[in-house]
Each structure stands twice: as structure tokens, then as C-alpha cells.
């Protein structure tokens, strides 16, 4: 982890102080934006989630004590946690506010939106701050799993936050422009009654427009400019007379002028609104990107009287877009590089598996075979120590052969094509249970199998998942007087209707401090003399689940058993496929399951 990432992580772990004070300070000057969903904001929210590799993203607008979800990705706006303590904490932080795992942070672990609700396990958020220093709200992304956020992701989130602020300021200016146009229209209607009223109205409009922070202009019904406010004239360094005589046109970049005039004239002819971006020369001679928006202006119940418009400097916005485009290209290059590395690794794995299959089995068979011959035919001529050593050699060869088999199986599952179809995983679990009963007739095993929702998956590969998980449960419950193994499901905490499958047992369990080793190849959490195995089974399970696009994790406690959870995209809690609570709550004893296997 880089030093910057470490700083972010330490920020997310320290206690949050004076959150209420920060919220009140930000809310007093923030604009209100309690409006319906808009595509520009939704696209920025989606981009934030994609750049930060997170399923949830949110834009929250703060105004006083009020909070509104302006845009949400991965959940509905009405379900968005706008009063979330993490969002409130972000309002008081100048730097990105990062929490890697909310469950280990005492400030947030008890929050109902962490334990339930959107199940926010990891969070990174940045403030939305206007150019005047006003705190407008929060842009944040969340994950339902612990997530180590990269510094580049936080920087990208800050860039996107500036674009969100630009969109807010643009809408504020448009609203002000609309209000100005309405006021001007009212003034013109009054001006038709008396010349004096018209002069006063124009004077008020010009005074208001001159005090506005945006560049405002008006034009008559024949597209001839009639007014430029002080902001516009100061920007291009001209007097009103110079601008009205065509000086404003000389300030437009020569390459952009034809396109701008085409949009301008076409809008006048059609009497419709227009919006166009072009480069405008500033008084210091430099060109700046501006976005010019004009709306038609009607009087006397529908008489077209011209246009009123406003232009905004969007140079920084364009620069941010270029930076994001550069970032996207860099990310795409990284993906291509990782893809090439993965292909090379798969090829190496295949070559290695081929070498194991053909080059290692022959000497292993020789070692095992000659050891058995010595034990069976010449044991009488050997002393006790020699016999013990030969038995160790034989067991070692058999263990090595099992390792080779598991490694070849691991490599084979990584290369098998996925043959997905809609299926009921409960049938796969039933067949595995039947097989385990035949393999362990001396065990009094109790299986509790719920009716599992259908999913989209490869039946052969998912059967291997249940086989490895149930075989592990049988193995680690052998010291229990009444071993109980449950296969069931539960609804996901997200709003997409997805389900979480699980396999639970009351076996030996394990210490969660070592959970990160659970799915590693050849990683074992118990000694080999306690429980047999090679440490490959759960690695195969994880590989199959990830190839289906799902996730897998575990929860356990020493001496209290373990639960393995996994998801498969496409699995939905359909009421038609889920039994009644009564049917699902049955318990089987004496070697039977709740479905009568």
C-alpha cells in the first residue's frame, strides 16, 4: 500500500469529532437541489462506482439540516441513506473520508445501515465544495465487503466531485437565467402599456444582469444582439457599443465560429432553446471554453420577442473530462496487461499440470510399489524401525499422489468452459448428500436441506462446489456426537432481489484471524495429523464461484462450527421457488434430511 493509501486508511479509522458542528456549518450556505433524477448526475454516479470498483455510489445534497439523494447507483434514490453517519462525517473533512471496514470502526459498527440497510462495509466519500467554498454535499461510493481503496480511486472521486459541483452550479445558473427571463418577459408586457414602464424594466434587468456572476446576453427577434452584461464585457474586454457592433463575434475562436453561428441562427428560426460549447477569447488574449445556452422569449401570450441567454466558463470542466478520459485509457491498458498476464499464467499452469501428470507419477508409482513389496514380502527380515520408515514412505507417496490429483483438478476447473443454464441447486446438494451417506455409513449425520432458489450456473461445476463444501463439513464434524449440516439460503441486503446460499455445520470451526488463508491453494488451518486433506478443495470452490461472477466468504468460531456463504449472479428469491416457513424449518435426525433424502 502506498503512503497515500495508508494515510487514507488511517483517516477512515480515527474517531469522527464535531460531525454535527460541521454539518451545521456546511448546511447554512449550501444550495437546495431537491429535484428529480437527472441523467448527468446518474452518469457521474455510475462512473464513480465503476472507477472505484464498488457496487454502490451516491450523491447527497446538503441544505441546512435537510439531506436529499440527488443520484444513486446500485440502489433506489428513495432507499438511499442520506442521513448516514458516514456522509455526515464526510461533510466535516477536507480530504477524502475513507473507512476500509465499518464493522471494525467503533464510530460506525453499530449503525443500522452498516449492520443492515444497505449493508455498508466499506466507504470512501468526498465533499462537494463550490468555487466560493460552500459545502454542497457529498459524493461517495460504498461496498458491501471490506474494500481497500487506492489513492488513485480517491483522486478520481475528487475529480468527479468537481464535475458534480459544475453540474450543480450550471443548474443554479440556468435557474437564475430562467428567473431572469421570466422577469424580463413580465417587464416587457408592462412596457407595452407605457414607454416609461419599459424603460424602468430594462434598467432593472440590466442592473440585475450586470450584478450576476454569469455572462448574460439578449437578442431581438431577428437574431441581432441587444445587450451584454458587465460579466460578458469584462470577459472579452470590450465596451457594450463594441460588442453590439460585432465585437463579440471577433472574440469567438475562428475554428468554432461557423458551428456556433449555425446553432445560433437555427435556434432563432425554430424559436427553440439551444446549447453550444465554443472557445471565447478573454481580455488577456487567452481562449477559454464556454458553454452558451439560450432560450426563446415570448410576450403577449406567445409573440416571439427574441432570446435571452447565458454563457459559463467550462474550461476546468473540459480539463477534468480530459483527465478522466486519460484515466480511462490508463485503466483500459492495465486491464489489457492483466489479461495478457492471466493468459500467460494459465498457459504456464497448463504446462505445469501436463508435466505433473506425465513426469511425476512414474517415480511416485515406483516408490509406492517397491515400498509395498518390501512391506509385504520382506517385512520379516526388517527391524521395527525399517518397517516404520517404509510405512512413512508409503504414506508420503500416497499423500503426494493426492496432492498431484488435487492440483490437476484445480488446473482442470480453471480451463473448463462454463455451460450455464437455469437450474435448481437443491438437486445437486441431494445427490452429494446421498454419496456422502454411502461413503460414511457408520456416521449418524443430520442434514437440513432447504428448498433452494433457482440460479444460472454450470451444473457440473456447481455440483463440485457442494461436494467440496459438504465433504469438508462431514470431515470437520467427526468429533461431534450429533453432527448437523445445513444447506440453505437467505436474501441479500441489497434491493436487487439476489440471494446468498450457505453451508453451515457445528464442527470444529476456526479462528477468523486466519480467514484470509481459507481459500488459498495448499493453505490449511488445522494440522495434517488432525484432519486429512491437501488444502485445495476450498480453492477449487472459490475458483468456480468467481468464474460464475459470484463471491464467497466464511464466518466461524473455534469449537462452534463454520458457515460458508456464496452468491451466484442470476439467483433470485422467487416466491414460487421458496417453500413456506413451515416446510423450511424441518429437522432430520438419524441420517435423514429435511427433504426426506
Sorted by where each begins, the domain ranges of the chain are 3-170, 172-316, 317-415, 419-597
CA dihedral 336, 340, 341, 342 (to 10 degrees): 100
At 28 the pLDDT is 41
CATH code of the region 419-597: 3.30.565.10
- CA distance between the termini of the chain: 50
CA distances in angstroms from 301 to 189, 195, 239, 267, 270, listed in the order given: 9, 19, 34, 20, 18
Question: Can you give the pLDDT at residue 115?
Answer: 66
pLDDT in tens, 453-465: 999 888 888 888 8
What CATH number does domain 3-170 carry, 1.10.3720.10, 1.20.950.20, 3.30.450.40, 3.40.50.300?
A: 3.30.450.40
pLDDT of residue 590: 37
Indicate if the pLDDT at residue 88 is higher than 90: no
Ranked by mean pLDDT, the top range of 214-218, 398-402, 416-420, 568-572 is 214-218
Which range is least confidently modeled, 158-167, 318-327, 344-353, 544-553? 344-353
- Structure confidence by residue, pLDDT tens digits, 510-540: 888 877 777 765 555 555 555 555 567 788 8
Question: Is the sign of the CA dihedral 3, 16, 553, 514 positive or negative?
Answer: positive
Interval 254-260 mean pLDDT = 92
Percent of the chain whose predicted confidence (pLDDT) is above 90 = 22
- Residue 250: CB atoms within 10 A of its CB come to 14
Report, as an integer, the average pLDDT of 17-42.
53
Query: For the segment 413-423, what is each residue's pLDDT rounded down to a tens digit?
Result: 666 677 888 88
Is it true that domain 317-415 has CATH number 3.10.20?
no
Closest CA to 396 of 367, 374, 370: 367
Q: Minimum mean pLDDT among 61-75, 139-153, 194-208, 452-466: which range?
A: 194-208
Task: Compute the distance between CA of residue 84 and CA of residue 118 in angstroms, rounded to an integer.
Answer: 10
Note the pLDDT tens digit of each residue in 460-485.
888 888 988 998 888 888 888 889 99
Q: How confident is the model at residue 287 (pLDDT cuts 50, 70, 90)?
A: very high
What CATH number should be reported for the domain whose range is 172-316?
Answer: 3.30.450.20
Give residue-wise pLDDT tens across range 322-344. Answer: 889 899 999 999 999 888 887 78
Q: What is the pLDDT of residue 366?
A: 72
pLDDT at 447: 93
**pLDDT higher for 311 or 346?**
311
pLDDT at 16 over 60: no
The pLDDT assigned to 376 comes to 76
CB 267 within 8 A of CB 274: yes
Q: Measuring CA to CA, which residue among 552, 578, 592 is closest to residue 462? A: 552
CB atoms within 10 A of CB 342: 10
Would you say residue 127 has pLDDT above 90? yes
Q: What's the whole-number mean pLDDT along residues 135-142?
A: 92
Question: How far, in Å, CA of 268 to CA of 224, rounded?
Answer: 10
Condensed to tens digits (0 to 9), the pLDDT of residues 554-586 reads 898 888 889 999 998 877 664 444 433 333 333
In sequence order, which residues have a C-beta less than 8 Å from that of residue 265 and are 6 or more positions away? 223
Distance CA(275)–CA(340), nearest Å, equals 44
Range with the lowest mean pLDDT among 43-52, 355-364, 431-440, 454-463?
Answer: 355-364
Render pLDDT for 427-456 as a digit per residue (tens, 0 to 9): 999 989 998 888 888 888 899 999 999 998
d(CA 317, CA 557): 52
Equal fold, 172-316 vs 317-415? no
Per-residue pLDDT, 585: 34
Q: Are 431 and 447 in contact (CB under 8 A)?
A: no
Query: What is the pLDDT at residue 98?
Result: 92
pLDDT: which is higher, 426 or 23 = 426
What is the rounded average pLDDT of the residues 278-283? 92
So what's the pLDDT on residue 408? 65
Q: What pLDDT is stored for residue 415 in this prediction?
A: 63
Mean pLDDT of the chain: 78
Give the span between the Cα atoms of 63 and 48, in whole angstroms.
Answer: 23
- What pTM value is reported for the model? 0.38
Amino acid at each position: 500500500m502506498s503512503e497515500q493509501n495508508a494515510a487514507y486508511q488511517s483517516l477512515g479509522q480515527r474517531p469522527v469529532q464535531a460531525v454535527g458542528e460541521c454539518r451545521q456549518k456546511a448546511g447554512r450556505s449550501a444550495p437546495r437541489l431537491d429535484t428529480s433524477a437527472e441523467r448527468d448526475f446518474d452518469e457521474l454516479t455510475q462512473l464513480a462506482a465503476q472507477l472505484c470498483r464498488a457496487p454502490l455510489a451516491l450523491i447527497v445534497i446538503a441544505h441546512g439540516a435537510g439531506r436529499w439523494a440527488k443520484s444513486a447507483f446500485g440502489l433506489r434514490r428513495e432507499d438511499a441513506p442520506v442521513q448516514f453517519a458516514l456522509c455526515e462525517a464526510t461533510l466535516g473533512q477536507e480530504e477524502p473520508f475513507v473507512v476500509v471496514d465499518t464493522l471494525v470502526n467503533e464510530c460506525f459498527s453499530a449503525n443500522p445501515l452498516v449492520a443492515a440497510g444497505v449493508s455498508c462495509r466499506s466507504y470512501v466519500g468526498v465533499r462537494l465544495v463550490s468555487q466560493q467554498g460552500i459545502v454542497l454535499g457529498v459524493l461517495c461510493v460504498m461496498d458491501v465487503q471490506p474494500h481497500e481503496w487506492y489513492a488513485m480511486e480517491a483522486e478520481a472521486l475528487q475529480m468527479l466531485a468537481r464535475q458534480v459541483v459544475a453540474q450543480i452550479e450550471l443548474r443554479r445558473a440556468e435557474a437564475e437565467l430562467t428567473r431572469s427571463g421570466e422577469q424580463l418577459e413580465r417587464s416587457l408586457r408592462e412596457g407595452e402599456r407605457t414607454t416609461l414602464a419599459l424603460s424602468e424594466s430594462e434598467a432593472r434587468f440590466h442592473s440585475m444582469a450586470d450584478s450576476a456572476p454569469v455572462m448574460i446576453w439578449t437578442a431581438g427577434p431577428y437574431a441581432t444582439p441587444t445587450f451584454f452584461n458587465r460579466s460578458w464585457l469584462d470577459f472579452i474586454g470590450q465596451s457594450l457599443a463594441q460588442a453590439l457592433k460585432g465585437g463579440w463575434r471577433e472574440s469567438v475562436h475562428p475554428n468554432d465560429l461557423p458551428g456556433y453561428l449555425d446553432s445560433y441562427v437555427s435556434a432563432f428560426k425554430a424559436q427553440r432553446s439551444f446549447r453550444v460549447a465554443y472557445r471565447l477569447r478573454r481580455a488577456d488574449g487567452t481562449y477559454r471554453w464556454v458553454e452558451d445556452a439560450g432560450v426563446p422569449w415570448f410576450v403577449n401570450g406567445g409573440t416571439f420577442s427574441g432570446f435571452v441567454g447565458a454563457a459559463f466558463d467550462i474550461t476546468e470542466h473540459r480539463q477534468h473530462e480530459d483527465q478522466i478520459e486519460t484515466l480511462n485509457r490508463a485503466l483500459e491498458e492495465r486491464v489489457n496487461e492483466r489479461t495478457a498476464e492471466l493468459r500467460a499464467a494459465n498457459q504456464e499452469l497448463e504446462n505445469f499440470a501436463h508435466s505433473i501428470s506425465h513426469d511425476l507419477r512414474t517415480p511416485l508409482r515406483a516408490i509406492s510399489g517397491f515400498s509395498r513389496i518390501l512391506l509385504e514380502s520382506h517385512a520379516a527380515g526388517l527391524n521395527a524401525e525399517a518397517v516404520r520408515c517404509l510405512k512413512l514412505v508409503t504414506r508420503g507417496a500416497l499423500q503426494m499422489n493426492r496432492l498431484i490429483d488435487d492440483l490437476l483438478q484445480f488446473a482442470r476447473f480453471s480451463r473448463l468452459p462454463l455451460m450455464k443454464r437455469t437450474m435448481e441447486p437443491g438437486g445437486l446438494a441431494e445427490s452429494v448428500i446421498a454419496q456422502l451417506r454411502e461413503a460414511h455409513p457408520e456416521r449418524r449425520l443430520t442434514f437440513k436441506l432447504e428448498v433452494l432458489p433457482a440460479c444460472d450456473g454450470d451444473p457440473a461445476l456447481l455440483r463440485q462446489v457442494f461436494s467440496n463444501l459438504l465433504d469438508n463439513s462431514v470431515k470437520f464434524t467427526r468429533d461431534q456426537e450429533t453432527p448437523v449440516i445445513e444447506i440453505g439460503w437467505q436474501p441479500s441486503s441489497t434491493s436487487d432481489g439476489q440471494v446468498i446460499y450457505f453451508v453451515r455445520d457445528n464442527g470444529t470451526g476456526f479462528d477468523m484471524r486466519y480467514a484470509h488463508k481459507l481459500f488459498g491453494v495448499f493453505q490449511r488451518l488445522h494440522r495434517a495429523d488432525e484432519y486429512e486433506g491437501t488444502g485445495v478443495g476450498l480453492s477449487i470452490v472459490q475458483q468456480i464461484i468467481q468464474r460464475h461472477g459470484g463471491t464467497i466468504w466464511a464466518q466461524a468460531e473455534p469449537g462452534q462450527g463454520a458457515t460458508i456463504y456464496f452468491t451466484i449472479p442470476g439467483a433470485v428469491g422467487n416466491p414460487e421457488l421458496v417453500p413456506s416457513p413451515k416446510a423450511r424449518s424441518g429437522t432430520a435426525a438419524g441420517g435423514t434430511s429435511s427433504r426426506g433424502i
